[in-house]
Chains A and B, each alone.
Chain A
Amino acid sequence: MTLSRSLRLPIAARPAMTEFAGSRLTCLRGERLVFVGLDFRLAAGEALVLTGPNASGKSSLLRLMALLSCPWRGEITWDGAPVAEDPDRHRARLRYVGHLDAIKPVLTAEENLGFWAALHRNAGPERQARQALERFGLERLAAVPARYFSAGQKRRLNLARLLLAPAPLWLLDEPTVGLDQAAVTRLGEVLAGHRAAGGMVVAATHTDLPLPGARHLHLDGFAPAPPDRGPGPDRGPGHEETWS
């Protein structure tokens, strides 16, 4: 069932060798270095799970990947071309689900999704919104204002945005927070369908995600050394030259 659904996911223009990568990324937030010299690489159909303690930069890395902020050092590339050269094109190929739910409490579930579907230049926003609600088991709540939703239902509504318009790269910030087991299973099906159609997933998490065969990236290995308290924990070799 998952496969038949996934095959219908129309990923437009699927090049054979899509690669999303970042090299020697250094993130500076305020006056604080979050991570130093981070590399990642992701091919079509692959998933990358970001793990690490609080404040290790998982969300910051996702925001860098979404071009919502710029790396202090280093470069993010798509098929070898730096994404910063054509930011609009990169933004068009990604979907970002952050901590914040971006849900308006006075609008119904369908209106919330319909707005985002229309913003993604979708031809039939209402129909798309209804289908997306169905995939996350929210079809009976379509006409209910979102202020009556529980935290888990809001999370599902937010995740349903992923299905509004096809995009090859999904960036998820702790997608399973507040979800029950059935919803996690549904999310797993959706993610598997996306990957089977050649999509990529990058997810930050503290729990187990339904992403079989995903690569893991532990961000605590890229933490900078505290300048006055000796070397940092688990700091991999070879990052000294970036920290100046």
Chain B
Amino acid sequence: MTRFRGLVGRDLKLALRQGSDATVAVMFFVLVVVLFPFGIGPEPNILARIAAGVIWVAALLASLLSLERLFQTDFEDGSLDLMALGGLPLELVVLAKATAHWLVTGVPLLVAAPVLAVLLGMNRDGFGTLELTLLLGTPSLSLTGSIGAALTLGARRGGVLISLLILPLFIPVLIFGAAAIDSALAGLSARPHLLILGALLAAALPLASVASAAALRQALEQ
């Protein structure tokens, strides 16, 4: 457990000192959402209607942005070889790196999302549910994304490949995330959708770490 925390702490330290990933993800998130009023026109009803979907799509794209480098730098400088030898199972290495990725790119989205919801004129009833869906959904995105990041290690133009591989897998999270907010706005219970988001996260935790670790072993063999 201390070794797991050590790895998360190291990745956080690296992200903070390099400083780009967190700010880029959240700036991208804000900019994508802000583009919509320009494209659609300042019609408050339409914007309020599409707010949930827009925020969720922007969150998917923002978390995809830095996935390419999840394992890439460690792979290129040999750190991943040493982690494979280091005694911590690769499954836990994946979990630690996905956790750090979520803390760096997912948590800032949680902070920025209510501001954007105000900007799009979303009804205040949906704010709590919006935060809950992001809280449950964005860790799933980091975990699922780690599979794509591990599979495309060493491939040229890996970033584009990751998008093609992973965006379809993000669809369930998008559907239930946006649907939960819509039901809260319509005065219905968001609970079923939130439960399914929680189930998706519970399934992604073991499945993504096992799949990513298998892909990493494959990459290290080359």
Contact = CB atoms under 8 A, between A and B. Distances in A.
Nearest to B7: A119
Contacts of A7: none
B81 A98 contact: yes
Contacts, number: 69
B40 interface: no
A68 B10 contact: no
Interface string B69-94: 00000001111011111111000000
B157 interface: no
Interface in B15-40: 17-18
Interface string A63-86: 000111110000000000000000
A31 to B, nearest CB: 13
Given A100-B77, A102-B78, A68 B84 contact: yes
Contact of A70 (B77, B88, B221): B221
B124 interface: no
Contact of A102 (B3, B81, B220): B81
A221 B3 CA distance: 43
Interface residues of A, number: 27
A3 to B, nearest CB: 29
Please report whether the interface of chain A is mostly helix, strand, loop or mixed according to DSSP: loop
A119 B87 contact: yes
A179 interface: no
Given A68-B84, A91-B87, A120-B86, A98 B221 contact: no
Nearest to A117: B6
A119 B83 contact: yes
B86 A119 contact: yes
Contacts of B6: 115, 118-119
A107 interface: yes
Nearest to A30: B222
A102 B85 CA distance: 13
Contact of B87 (A66, A115, A121): A121
Contacts of B220: 68-69
A106 B78 contact: no
A149 interface: no
Contacts of A111: 13
Given A96-B81, A101-B77, A69 B221 contact: yes
A21 B141 CA distance: 45
Contact of B85 (A94, A100, A104, A121): A94
B78 A121 contact: no
Contacts of B14: 104, 106-107
Contacts of A92: 87
A225 B122 CA distance: 72
A102 B86 contact: no
Contacts of B82: 96, 102, 116, 119, 161
Given A96-B81, A99-B78, A116 B221 contact: no
Q: Which of B2, B18, B78 is the most central at the interface, judged by chain A CB atoms within 10 Å of its CB?
A: B78
Contacts of B79: 102, 104
Contact of B3 (A88, A121, A161): A121
Contacts of B81: 66, 68, 96, 98, 100, 102
Nearest to A104: B14
Contact of B13 (A67, A101, A102, A107): A107
Nearest to B15: A106
A57 to B, nearest CB: 15
A179 B220 CA distance: 28
A28 to B, nearest CB: 11
A118 B83 CA distance: 12
19 contacts: A68-B81, A70-B221, A91-B84, A92-B87, A96-B85, A99-B78, A100-B76, A100-B77, A100-B81, A104-B14, A104-B79, A106-B14, A115-B7, A116-B86, A118-B2, A119-B7, A119-B87, A121-B87, A161-B82
Interface of A: 66-70, 88, 91-92, 94, 96, 98-104, 106-107, 111, 115-116, 118-121, 161
Interface of B: 2-3, 6-7, 10, 13-14, 17-18, 76-79, 81-88, 220-221
Q: What are the 10 tightest A-B residue pairs by CB atom distance, in nearest-first order?
A: A100-B78, A106-B17, A102-B78, A118-B6, A119-B86, A102-B79, A91-B85, A69-B221, A115-B10, A102-B82
